[in-house]
Amino acid sequence: MSSNPFDLSGKVAVVTGANTGIGQGVAVALAEAGADIALVARSDASETVGLIEKAGRRAITIKADLSTIEPCELIVDEAASALGGVNILVNNAGIIRRNDAVDFTEDDWDAVVDTNLKTLFFLSQAAGRHMIDNGGGSIINIASMLTFQGGIRVASYTASKSGVGGLTKLLANEWAAKGIRVNAIAPGYIATNNTAALQADETRNRQILERIPAGRWGEPGDLGGAAVFLASDAACYVQGHVLAVDGGWLAR
């Protein structure tokens, strides 16, 4: 047994949307801390597999489309049988649709809420059942600044990420006594595909940078330390918390 409370040796983490962006950054950080990783992705995740293997850990890829809850139980079963269990779940996969509230469509509502909130809940349920039967675990949800703020032109995204904050607390309340910790990370503005349009818009990019005390966009790797902390015994008494990793955005 390691004396380092951040050590994840012997743990298995399932990370959704791990082919790119924040999911890739978190998956690699968990591997560098010692965990084997089941990458859940609908696109090619070989780059992330390579980075995890370079860190000396095992990686498997589970192909799944998370726009429906259909693959949830299979993901947990496959990860557990290939890697020997599931101790950590990172619910990272997510999408965003932008439109004025007066024009927002049902499709843009359903697509975002189904992926970001409904699947997050039912994958947590599948992992939670496994963890309850196997000595507990840690679930980390990727929230957003829009877990705290309203945003603009992103009605379904704000609804979904505000919902992620609520579900994080609900699941923490129900499962703390069963040995499962449920927390969330709220990233600030991170340079990924998800924010490519904002980075490319000169005015928005300048406005965003002016408000970030750290004076720069975050990188996916900036989320790694928070994920390792919440996944590990170092956070053994941290429950139902939404940890902002935002370069100071919310403090402004």
CB of 20 to ligand NAP, least distance (A): 4
Nearer to ligand NAP, 12 or 93 (CB): 93
Q: Does residue number 142 form part of the binding site for ligand NAP (CB under 6 A)?
A: yes
Q: Any contact of residue 141 with ligand NAP (CB under 6 A)?
A: no
Q: Which of 121, 157, 189, 249 is catalytic?
A: 157
Residue with tokens 């299979």: 74
Kindly list the distances between the CA atom of residue 151 and the CA atoms of 101, 108, 116, 154, 155, in Å, as whole numbers in the listed order.
11, 16, 16, 7, 8
Compute the distance between CA of residue 133 and CA of residue 136 in angstroms, rounded to an integer: 8
Active site residue 157: yes
Nearer to ligand NAP among residue 34 and residue 147 (C-beta): 147
Query: 87, 158, 194, 232: which one contacts ligand NAP (CB under 6 A)?
Result: 194
By three-state DSSP, how is residue 244 classified? strand
User: What ranges in 114-154 are assigned the alpha helix state H?
Assistant: 119-133
Query: 5: which residues sit within 8 A by CB, 6+ positions away?
Result: 232, 233, 234, 236
Site map (CB under 6 A) of ligand NAP, residues 71-110, x = contact: ---------------------xxxx---------------
- Which stretches of the chain are DSSP H helices? 21-32, 46-54, 72-83, 106-113, 119-133, 155-175, 196-200, 202-211, 224-231
CB 187 within 8 Å of CB 245: yes
Judged by CB under 6 A, does residue 190 bind ligand NAP? yes
Confirm or reject binding of residue 112 to ligand NAP (CB under 6 A).
no
Question: How many CA atoms within 13 Å lie on the side-chain side of 107?
Answer: 0
Among 187, 226, 231, 235, binds ligand NAP (CB under 6 A): 187
Query: Which residue, 34 or 163, has its beta carbon nearer to ligand NAP?
Result: 163
Task: Tell me: does residue 189 bind ligand NAP (CB under 6 A).
Answer: yes
C-alpha 207/C-alpha 178 separation (Å) is: 45
175 binds ligand NAP (CB under 6 A): no
Task: Name the residue nearer to ligand NAP (CB basis): 156 or 192.
Answer: 192
Q: Count residues near ligand NAP (CB under 6 A).
A: 26
Per-position x/- string for 20-39, each x denoting binding to ligand NAP as judged by CB under 6 A, each - no binding: xxxx----------------
Closest CA to 248 of 196, 209, 220: 209
Tokens of 93: 């996969």
Does the footprint of ligand NAP cover residue 19 (CB under 6 A)? yes
Residues that bind ligand NAP (CB under 6 A): 17, 19-23, 41-43, 65-67, 92-95, 115, 142, 144, 187, 189-190, 192-195
Point out the residues that are catalytic: 157
